[in-house]
Amino acid sequence: MDRAARHAHEPRSSADVVGEHSQYRLDLERVRFSPYFSRLSAVTQVIGQPGAGPLIHNRLTHSIKVTAVARAISVKMTDAASPTRDFALAHGCDAVVVQAAASAHDLGHPPFGHLGERVLDRLARDTLGLPDGFEGNAQTYRIITTLDVSEVAPRGLNLTAAVRSAVAKYPWTRHVDVAALGDGPLPRGFRRTDRGVEVLKFSAYGIDAADLSEARDGHPPFRQSLECSIMDIADDIAYSIHDVDDFHRAGLLGQGAVAREFRGWIESGLQLRDLDDEELARRSAPPGSALEALRRKLHTSDPWIAGDEAFRAAVGVVADDLVDGLLASPFDGSIAAERALSSFTNRWIDHLQSSVVPAPEGVVRAGLVTLDERAWHEVEILKFVHRHFILDRSDIVMYQRGLSRVIARAVKGLTAWLRDEDDRDRVPLRLRELVEIATDGYAQLRTTRPAGVPVPDASEVRTLGVGRGVVDYVASLSDDQALAVSEAIDGRPDRLWDIGQNL
C-alpha cells in the first residue's frame, strides 16, 4: 500500500503495526530533519529572546516539549494495564504518529508568533485578495504536503495519511459548509455571530483541501483523529506551563498584581457576581473581576464541563502553588531559583498529562480525549495568567504594533516587486518558485473543483498565485530574517548582509 494512503483509523493487526511503525518513524525523521523545523529555533513563542535571554522558549523548544508530553500521554493510554487501552487501539493510537504530529504542529507559525499570524491574515485577505487569508495551522499543512521537499516526492514530505490527519487540529477549510453544524454547540474554531457562523481556525487552504480530504477519508466530519486530539491537548498542557516558566524567568510576572487578582476573587467572588459584564471590564473594576469574567466565559463556551466548584478549586490550587509558592521569590538565576522553577514545571506537567481521559460522547467542543474536570479548569486558570498579566501589558502591545509594521512592509514590498514588470526578474529565486507552486495550485483548482472551495476564474489564477506565494515566503522567515527583509525593502542598509543567501 502507498505509505501516503495508510490511515490511522483502520483496524491493525500485529504485523501491520510493525510495518507501520517503521513508516511512521520515517515521517518523524522527515519532519525533524526539515529546514522548516530547524527554523523554529528563531521564531518567537511569546517573548522574543533578544529581550529576555536565551533560556526563554522559542517555537522549537516548545515543539520538542509538546512532543515529549504527547508521547507520554499516548504511551500511558496504550499501556497493557491501562483502562483506556481498548479505546485507544480502537481509534488508532501510535506513539510515533503522535510524536510526528507534535513535532510538526507549529511549522506554519510565521515570524513574531501569533501577532504575525493575525497581521498576515489581515494582509492576505484585505491587500492580496486571498479568500482563505492566512492561518498557522493551514500553513503547517501546506508545508508538509506542498512546500517542504523530500527526495521521494516532487513536493511535500510524503507523510502517511495517519500523520497528516494527526496534524489537522481543525480538520476543515475556511469555506466549510457551516450549515452542516446546525444550531447546537460549535466545535472549537467556530464562532456564532449576528451574521452567522464564522470560521476562526482551520487546517487547510482551498488549494490543499483535496489532500486533507484524502488523508481524513473515513473520519467523521469536524472530528479530530485520536492521535491529533492527543497532540492538541499536549500543546495546551505545554504552553500553559511553559509560558508561566518564561514570564517568571524573565521577571515579567510580578507576585503583587497576580496575588491581588486571585485574592480579590477568592474573597469577593459572590459580590462580583452581582456586577454586569460592562462593570467587570472597566479599568476601575475591583480585584478579581477578570477571573469572574473568565468564569462566566467558560460557562458560556463550555457548559459541558465548566462548573463553579471546580473553578473555585482550580483558583485555589493555582493561588497556592503559583502565587504563594513560585512567585513568592523573584527569579534571580540561582540554583535554588532554578530548582524551584523546575519543581513547579515538572509537578504540573506530570499531573496534567496523567489527567487525560476519553471525552464524553457527543461533546463537539472536545476531541476524542480531554482533561478531567479538575485539570481542565486548572489549565484554563493558568492560561488566564498568561493572557491577563502578560499579553495585555501595554509595553508588549506597543512592541507588537511595531512588529506588525515589519510584516506589512515585507508583504507589500515583495508584492510590489513581483508586479514590477521592469524588475521582477530579479526577485529572489525561492520567492519566484513559491509563486509558481501557488499558481499551479490555483490552476489545478479549476480542474479538481473540491466541494466547498471557491474556484478562481482563469484571470485570477496568477494574481492569487502571487499573493499566496508572498505569504508562503514571508511566513517561512525567522524573526531576524523578517526584520532584515523589511528593512532592506524600506531602503535601510543596516542589516543587508544579514539576509545573505537566505533570500
Neighbours of 206 (CB within 10 A): 24
pLDDT at 48: 55
CA gap 164, 30 in Å, rounded:
13
Burial grade of 83 (CB within 10 A; 0-12, 13-18, 19 or more): exposed
pLDDT at 238: 93
pLDDT at 57: 80
pLDDT in single tens digits along all 503 residues of the chain = 344 554 444 444 444 444 556 899 999 999 999 999 999 999 986 655 555 555 678 899 999 999 999 999 999 999 999 999 999 999 999 999 999 999 999 999 999 888 889 999 999 999 999 999 999 999 999 999 999 998 878 899 999 999 999 999 999 999 999 888 888 889 999 999 888 899 999 999 999 999 999 999 999 999 999 999 999 999 999 989 988 888 888 888 889 999 999 999 999 999 999 999 999 999 889 999 999 999 999 999 999 999 999 999 999 999 999 999 999 999 999 999 999 999 999 999 999 999 999 999 989 999 999 999 999 999 999 999 988 988 777 777 777 788 889 999 999 999 999 999 999 899 999 999 999 999 999 999 999 888 888 899 999 999 999 999 999 999 999 998 999 999 888 887 665 555 555 56
In the chain, the domains with their CATH numbers are 12-226 (1.10.3210.10), 255-392 (no CATH), 399-490 (no CATH)
183 half-sphere exposure, CB direction, 13 A CA radius: 0
Burial grade of 399 (CB within 10 A; 0-12, 13-18, 19 or more): middle
pLDDT at 18: 47
The radius of gyration computed from the CA coordinates of the chain, to the nearest angstrom, equals 23
Sign of CA dihedral 331, 337, 340, 343: positive
**Please, where are the H alpha helices in 302-428?**
308-318, 335-353, 373-386, 394-418
pTM: 0.92
Terminal-residue alpha carbon distance, the chain: 39
CA gap 205, 446 in Å, rounded:
15
What does residue 44 show for φ and ψ, rounded to 5 degrees?
Answer: -60, 135
Neighbours of 339 (CB within 10 A): 10
Q: Please name which of 154, 274, 298, 172 lies closest in space to residue 228, comparing C-alpha atoms.
A: 172
pLDDT at 152: 78
C-alpha cell at 199: 470560521
pLDDT at 399: 75
Residue with cell 486530539: 229
**Please, where are the H alpha helices in 136-276?**
136-142, 161-167, 209-215, 226-249, 255-272
Using DSSP's 3-state secondary structure scheme, residue 282 falls into coil
